[in-house]
Structure 1
Amino acid sequence: MKPIIHLETISEINRFVQQGGVKHPMVAIIDFSKVDEYLEVGTRISCGFYSIMFKNYCINHMKYGRQQYDFQEGSLICIAPRQVVELDSEIEKRDDMMGWGLFFHPDLVRGTSLGAKMKDYSFFSYETSEALHLSEKEKQVLYDCIIKIGEELNENIDHHSQNLIVSNIELLLNYCSRYYGRQFITRKNLNRDVVVQVEKALKEYFDANDRLKEGLPTVGYLADCVNLSPNYLSDLLKKETGMNAKEHIHHFVIEEAKNILLGSNKTIGEIAYQLGFEYPQYFSKLFKQKTGTTPQEFRYLN
C-alpha cells in the first residue's frame, strides 16, 4: 500500500498540481483543465483543508473513507479535512476534460458565522456513491459562485476580502444543501429500499440476543448494513420518514419495549437489559421522553 500524501496548506495543493503561485494563504481555486492530472493507481491523498471538486469525466473507482466510490461524470464531491481519498483505477482520458476545485482552510472560516455552521453541512462526511449529481442549471449556479470567489482572489487583499470570500463560499454550500435535498427527492425509489433495509437490520439486530449484549445498535452499525455513511443515512432517513437514524433506533426500541411490557411480567430492569441498555435508568428516561409515561405507568394504563 502506498504511503499517504498529506497536503496541509493551500500552498501545498498549488505546488502539488503545479498551478501557479498562491493568491490567498487560506483559499484556492484549481482549474482542472490546466492540470496534468496523472496519478498512479493506489495514490492516497489527505488534506488539512476542505475540498469541493467538480469534474465532467469519470474516475471509475475511488476509495473515500472506508468504501469504494464512483466519481461519475458531472458529479461533485465535498471532502472534510483529514479524510483519505485513494485512486483505485486509472482516470478516463478525454479531450474535453475540465472541472474545478475549491479548497479552503478551516482557519478561513473560524470565528465567522460560516465557521459555526460547518458542522451542519453533513455532506462533507458523505462517502461511497453519495456524490451530488448536478443538472446543467445547477452546474452553472455553482460555477457562478466559483467565478465570484475567483474574482475576489484576483483583487488586492483588503479588510473586505475575507468577508466577501467567506460569504460566497457559504452561498455555494447553501446551494449544495438545496441540491442534495433535490437529489434525495429524485431518488425516492432507491431511498425507500434503504428504509426497508434499515428496518430489516434493526429487526435482525434485536432478534439476535447475542448482539444485544453489546448494547443498542449504533448509527454506524446501520450505515454499514446499507453501505452508506452515517451522515448520509441520517439525512436520507430524515427526508423520507421525518426521523434521522438515531431517532429510528429509538423508535424501534420503544416499540419493542411496549410489546415486552404488555406481553410479559418481566421487571423494568430485566426489559432494559434485554433491549441492550446498560442502565435501566437510561431506558426509563428514554421511554418517558418518547411516550410521555414511564414504563411502569405504560404497563399500568394498558
Structure 2
Amino acid sequence: MSTFLKITSISELHNFFGCEKPFHPLLSVVNLADISVPREALGKKLTTPFFSISLKTKVGEPFKYGRKYFDFSEGVLLGIAPNQVLEISESSKRGDLEGWALYFHPDLIRGYGLMDSIMEYGFFSYETNEALHLSEKEKGTLNEIVRNISEECQAPIDDFSQDVLVTTIELLINYTKRFYGRQFITRKSEHTDIVSQFQGLLKRYFDAALVEGLPQVRYFAAQLHLSDSYLSDVLKKETGKNAQETIHYFVIDKAKTLLLNTDKTIAEIAFELGFEYPQYFSRLFKGKAGVTPKAYRSGLG
C-alpha cells in the first residue's frame, strides 16, 4: 500500500478530515475542532495543491512538516506552500484540536497580482520553528479576517465573489507580513547573531583550501538550521540584501582582491571562486560591479 496520500481538491480534503461538504470549490476555512484524522492514516505522507494558513489554539500534533513536528503553542501561525509533504504522526478525533485552517488553490488567485507576490513571500516555506507567534490582539485581527472569508465562501457566488475573496486573503497575508515585521524587531538580537554566523560561514567557505563550487543558500541555511526563506528574510531585514545577494557581493569582493593583487587569469579566478564557467563569473561581475573583470583589472572600474 502506498505511503502517500495525494489530495487534489477541496472536496477530497473535507472528506479526508471527516468534515461536511465545502461551500466553495477552490477555498475553505476549516474549523480544526471539526476535523478527525483516522488511525489508518498514521504514517502516511500527505500532499495537497493548496496554500494553507493555520492558527491552532489547542495542543495536539497530528502532522509532521518536513523533519519537524508542528511546534504549536497557543497562538502560533504557520503557512504551507502547495505540494509540501506532511507526515501524519498521530490520529485525532473531533474536539482534539482548536483553531482554524485556511486552504486555497492557486487557481483562485491566478490572474491577480497576489499570485506573483505570494510566490515571493517566504512565509509559506518557513520551517515550523520559524512560525509566527501572535499576541492576543493580533490573533483577534486575523480571526476577524478569516471569519469574513468563511462568510463570503458561504454566500451565493456572484460577479464580485472572487475579487472579494482574493482581496481579503491578500489582507490576511499583509497583516501576517506586518506581524512578522514585529517579530523580527523583537528578535533583533537573535537575528543579529544569525547574520554574524552567516557571514562567518561564508568567510570560512571561501577560506578553505578548495572551494567546491559556488555555495548555495540552502548550504548555509542547513548549517544554521533554518529554512532558505527565513534566512533570506532575516538577512534582508538586517542588511538590506537577501542571502543570494549577500553571497554574490561577497564573491565579487573576493574577485576584486584577486584581480588587483594576483596575476591569475580571469578564468583561473573564476574556477578558484567556485564558478563552473568563466562566462558566468564575468556576467555576474559586470552585473554587480558595473564593468567586466578585465576592465576592472585595467583600472576602468
TM-score (norm 1): 0.88
The correspondence for 2:288, drawn from 274, 287, 290, is 290
Q: List runs of 5+ in structure 1 lacking aligned partners.
A: none
CA contact (8 A) 1:2 1:42 kept: no
Alpha carbons of 1:204 and 1:66: their partners in 2 closer, same or farther (altered >3 Å)?
A: farther
* Counterparts of 1:240 and 1:146, CA distance in 2: 31
Aligned CA-pair RMSD:
2.7
SS of residue in 2 equivalent to 1:70: coil
The correspondence for 1:230, drawn from 200, 225, 228, is 228
* Counterparts of 2:98 and 2:68, CA distance in 1: 26
Alpha carbons of 1:155 and 1:89: their partners in 2 closer, same or farther (altered >3 Å)?
A: closer
Alpha carbons of 1:12 and 1:60: their partners in 2 closer, same or farther (altered >3 Å)?
A: closer
- 1:153-206 CA-to-partner distances (Å, cap 9, x unmatched) read 221222222221121111111111211222222111111121122112212221
Alpha carbons of 1:217 and 1:185: their partners in 2 closer, same or farther (altered >3 Å)?
A: same
SS of residue in 2 equivalent to 1:190: helix
Question: Which 10-residue stretch deviates more, 3-12 or 292-301?
Answer: 292-301
CA contact (8 A) 1:62 1:71 kept: no
* Counterparts of 2:68 and 2:242, CA distance in 1: 22
Please state how far the C-alpha of 1:233 moved relative to its aligned partner: 1.2
Alpha carbons of 1:165 and 1:83: their partners in 2 closer, same or farther (altered >3 Å)?
A: same
- 1:238-273 CA-to-partner distances (Å, cap 9, x unmatched) read 001111011111111112112222332212221111
- 1:49-73 CA-to-partner distances (Å, cap 9, x unmatched) read 1111111134469632355552332
Match of 1:276 in 2: 274
SS of residue in 1 equivalent to 2:30: strand
Please state how far the C-alpha of 1:128 moved relative to its aligned partner: 3.9
CA contact (8 A) 1:254 1:287 kept: yes
Match of 2:3 in 1: 3
CA contact (8 A) 2:61 2:69 kept: no
| Counterpart code for 1:100 | W
* Counterparts of 1:139 and 1:24, CA distance in 2: 25
SS of residue in 2 equivalent to 1:277: coil
Please state how far the C-alpha of 1:10 moved relative to its aligned partner: 0.4
* Counterparts of 2:2 and 2:226, CA distance in 1: 25
Match of 1:51 in 2: 52
Please state how far the C-alpha of 1:146 moved relative to its aligned partner: 0.9
| Counterpart code for 2:72 | F
The correspondence for 2:241, drawn from 243, 248, 263, is 243
Give the fraction of aligned pairs with identical amino acids, expressed as a percent: 49
| Counterpart code for 1:10 | I
* Counterparts of 1:140 and 1:206, CA distance in 2: 48
* Counterparts of 2:107 and 2:298, CA distance in 1: 56
Alpha carbons of 1:192 and 1:58: their partners in 2 closer, same or farther (altered >3 Å)?
A: farther
Question: Which 10-residue stretch deviates more, 140-149 or 116-125?
Answer: 116-125
* Counterparts of 1:59 and 1:43, CA distance in 2: 17
CA contact (8 A) 2:24 2:154 kept: no
Alpha carbons of 1:167 and 1:16: their partners in 2 closer, same or farther (altered >3 Å)?
A: same
CA contact (8 A) 1:128 1:227 kept: no
Please state how far the C-alpha of 1:236 moved relative to its aligned partner: 1.2
Match of 1:71 in 2: 72
Question: Which 10-residue stretch deviates more, 243-252 or 191-200?
Answer: 191-200
- 1:262-296 CA-to-partner distances (Å, cap 9, x unmatched) read 33221222111111112223222322322233333
Alpha carbons of 1:22 and 1:68: their partners in 2 closer, same or farther (altered >3 Å)?
A: closer
CA contact (8 A) 2:114 2:170 kept: yes
Equivalent positions of 1:161-176 (< 5 A) are 161-176=161-176
Give the number of equivalent residue pairs: 299
Equivalent positions of 1:129-278 (< 5 A) are 129-210=129-210, 212-213=211-212, 215-278=213-276
- 1:3-30 CA-to-partner distances (Å, cap 9, x unmatched) read 1222211011211222212211111111
| Counterpart code for 1:254 | I
Alpha carbons of 1:217 and 1:32: their partners in 2 closer, same or farther (altered >3 Å)?
A: same
Alpha carbons of 1:208 and 1:51: their partners in 2 closer, same or farther (altered >3 Å)?
A: same
SS of residue in 1 equivalent to 2:101: strand
| Counterpart code for 1:49 | F
SS of residue in 1 equivalent to 2:144: helix
